[in-house]
Chains A and B, each alone.
Chain A
Amino acid sequence: MSIVQSFPLFSIVLGLLCAIGCFVVPKQWGRRMTLLLLLASCVMQGWVLRFCYVNQTSYAYMMGHYPAPWGNEIMAGLLEPGMGLLFSVVMLLSVIGGGRHIGHDVADGKQHLYWVTVDLTLVSLLAMCYTNDIFTGYVFIEICTIASCGLLAVREGGRSLIASVRYMVFALIGSSLFLIGVVFTYAITGQLLFPQLRQAVAALWAAGTYRFAMTVAIGLMTAGLAVKSGCFPFHGWLPDAHSQATTASSCILSGVIVKGYAVLLIKIIYRAIGAEVFMASGAQHVLLLLGIGGMVACSIDAIFAKRLKVMIAFSSAAQIGYIFMGIGMGTAAGLTAAVLQIVNHAVTKPMLFLSGSQLSDASHGRMDFPSLRGAGHRNVPAGILFTIGAVSMVGVPLLAGFIPKLYFAREAFALGWQRWPVLLALAVSTVLNVLYFLYTAVLIWLPQEADCRFTAVKPHWDEFLPGFVLAGLNVAMGIHPGPLVALIDKAVALLGR
């Protein structure tokens, strides 16, 4: 066995050790340790991805001394390290870009705790990507819930506290539904590891026994993860949580955490339940309809939002709708488009939150749209970044946002009754995106009014540089999507094996 195959485990254990270390070291050391951890995680996930790509393989890694079905396992194919790499890169850029706001929004004595929550968030996301055991999935879902609540609640101020409470209530409902689904599945099959579970579910389904109970279990697990991902109509917590957090937390919550649950759902569908049984249960139609509903309803909510961060948060809920629609298409090409959407949203949304916060700083901390008029002139790099992100979200060619939409539309023509709802939703959602994103992008470049009391601010390189790296990734994906699409195609093919 190659040492590279142990890297997923090393990165998870390293994250846990780093989280413990951040408790005891001074806050500056906590920051440095976390940045090093994220950098190390990027390198390790990249290495595992290269190993799996070169060998065109996925492998199970036994944890401890007991083989399956008694022991625990992690599994790495192309999707798992790919998502791990994406999450690590986005988190690294988010904490660098939002560093100044962390110093401002988090009390001095609590900053080391902030780094603990960042470390635990990374650990839980990596574990959700790599786990091959459904109960381990549940445990790390809860760790992710606790860590992300910490990311949100650590900001000084009453509103983040209420947003945390709301987030926790929804998150706990989601976790509970998922746990009940896991227990039902275990009660029916007696298995927890994905490969054994998939065999047992397939055998039960073929024999025609426990079909109703299995459908209920699939529905509960899917609903639980949908609630936690902020899928429509369970997205009530999302706008407050994403808009009330400090900038780096908003980037991580929106760009990474909601995707972690979506990735786990994809793994459960394709590795644990089996795509055939999932499709036969009818759950994919529900996901498709929820996705379509989210794309339209959350975009309408975004139009009526009064503050920039709330608008970006509602847009996140709409973009998550695309992911669920792709999963609900029930085809390999639909799943490829959904994973493309995960990548697109992960690189674009943190860019919007980072630049949006800087535009707000250039408007004396105000987030309402009248105050943001001309903010692009007061902070030019932030204005450029926001414009790139907004245009990408609309789906303009040569930017990342166009690619998943193209693949969704192309795949829609291969579908049955779903074809026209999907195409219509894509068209309506794009028009709505134009209304709110292009309006904002134009607003920030309008000339300032004569009596404007806001003055130009000096841009900080550590704030806009991560944004420009994300913008570079966005443009690269938009101009030359071929290698990424080929990689995701192979990852999807490996998932089903």
Chain B
Amino acid sequence: MAAMFDHLLHNYEEAAAIALLSIGFCMLLFDRNLLKKVIGLDIMDSGVFLLLADRGFIAGGKAPIMAEAAAEAGRYVNPIPAGLVLTGIVVSVSVSALMLALTVRVYQTYRTLDVDHLYMLMSHRRKGGRA
């Protein structure tokens, strides 16, 4: 138990990332409120980005701007995860924006953000034959 706690403490970035991932995923999957689902998505994305950024981190490493001698290349942090995180943030913002826009339209139309209620409305309406 103590060894596991030590291991978690030593890898605290990964532990935090997995915690964020789990919280976000559970919110996305189980929360009935549409807005909280969007928040869950963003929390989960933050966990993924933390995990990715951690993969490229080198203790004492510099920002990967190759202005100095090539001999120092080993002291730069890995720029690829940073690039992935930036790309991921752009994707995440776009998806969140779309989800929020949908959420606003749903609320304006149905005055509820409860997904169970929305699905129930749909199944009631489906009983009619119209397309």
Contacts and interface: CB of A to CB of B under 8 A. Distances in A.
**What DSSP secondary structure best describes chain B's contact surface?**
helix
Contacts of B106: 161-162, 165
Given A176-B41, A365-B131, A367-B130, A169 B115 contact: yes
A165 B121 CA distance: 13
Interface residues of A, number: 44
B61 to A, nearest CB: 16
Given A149-B98, A366-B131, A176 B91 contact: no
Contacts of B37: 169
A119 to B, nearest CB: 16
B102 A164 contact: yes
Interface string A119-160: 000000000000000010011001101100100010000110
Interface in A46-102: 70
Interface stretch (B2-10, B44-52, B69-77): B44-52
Nearest to B128: A368
Interface stretch (A180-188, A315-323, A335-343, A382-390): A180-188
Contacts of B63: none
Interface string B72-102: 0000000011001001100100110011001
A368 to B, nearest CB: 3
Interface string B86-129: 01100100110011001101100110000100110110011101
B62 interface: no
B29 A183 contact: no
A168 interface: yes
A173 B127 CA distance: 28
Interface string A370-396: 110000000000000000000000000
A307 B48 contact: no
Contacts of B98: 146, 149, 168
A391 to B, nearest CB: 24
A485 B115 CA distance: 45
A371 B102 contact: no
A164 B41 CA distance: 16
Nearest to A363: B129
A159 B131 CA distance: 10
Given A168-B102, A179-B88, A162 B118 contact: yes
A228 interface: no
A160 to B, nearest CB: 10
9 contacts: A161-B109, A162-B119, A166-B119, A168-B99, A169-B115, A176-B25, A183-B51, A365-B130, A368-B129
Given A138-B91, A176-B25, A366-B129, 17 more contacts: A149-B98, A161-B105, A162-B118, A162-B121, A163-B122, A165-B115, A166-B122, A172-B41, A179-B48, A183-B51, A183-B52, A192-B80, A192-B84, A243-B131, A366-B130, A367-B130, A367-B131
